[in-house]
Amino acid sequence: MKLPMFVVDAFTSEAFRGNPAAVCLLENELDDDMRQKIAREMNHSETAFIQKLHPTDSFTQTEDLGLRTNRASPPLVPKPIFIEVPLGGKHSMRGCQEHKEIGENMNPTLTFVTLSGELKARQAEDGIIMDLPHCPTHHKDVKEVQDLIKLALDNVLVQDVHYSPDTKFLLVRIEDSYGRSFLENLEVNARDLTKIENTGKVQGLMLTVKGEGGGKTQGYDFYSRFFAPWLGVMEDPVTGSAHAVLGSYWSQQLGKKEIRAFQCSPRGGGMKISLQDSGRVDITGQTAFVLEGNLTI
């Protein structure tokens, strides 16, 4: 059996930047073990499986698709295990791009049924818009996580700490004076974070700093980096789900609903975040299509 496979870089218009992942189109559902084997074979941080919800559906006409996302076994795990990602927002972006590229589906919006509920993606002039759940944060007493912050940042000044119970992501805002270049060059020992925090309450660490905002040249409102060794990801290149949390926080801090963000990992990638009155978050990003082929199983 041959399965159409693609590699797409999300949140960028340039190849080899942004967040790379494999995308597989399925006529019929694969069992968990086979999907995990494919994810390990592709060897990307995540592999998205887009499938028909009903046998009579057509990739060229349907508006609703199934989306399951697997990642290769993380380096912290001594033997291969089944790992499925609950929130596949960035893959709805890739799926929207690839589905139109291959199937010529001209529906303005595609709905992806995932473990986290329905995620929608639609085409726009400046990229693809993902409709994600709003993930509010609340203030976190720094004393409760001071050891974790100390390991990640050493003596860097921290301005604010928030926590998202929906995602179990911890948001640490670095003092505004540090800026983008400091965050980009910061060395974080992500592997040891799991030794400090092993209660299961934290699944991801977001380090963020205020950006330059508007002005004569359009800048970014905030910058971030994302570490999730608890999920087997030392540092994620660009993370859509994290920005559903970051967007909520920075919208309140900046008093605006339209925000430009950049995740300054080594690959790097940018996006536009729009907070909707409905309680949803629109994240707009571009994609770069870099590989197309078939997987034989």
How far is the C-alpha of 150 from the C-alpha of 153, rounded, in Å? 5
Beta bridge partners of 258: 274
Calculated CA dihedral for residues 152, 156, 158, 164, nearest 10 degrees? -20
How far is the C-alpha of 262 from the C-alpha of 225, rounded, in Å? 9
For the chain, the 3-state helix, strand and coil shares in percent, each to the nearest 5, are 25, 40, 40
Are residues 65 and 41 in contact, defined by beta-carbon separation less than 8 angstroms? Answer: no
Catalytic option among 14, 27, 46, 144: 46
CB atoms within 10 A of CB 153: 17
List the one residue out of 205, 158, 209 whose CA is nearest residue 182.
Answer: 209
118 is catalytic: no
Residues assigned a catalytic role:
46
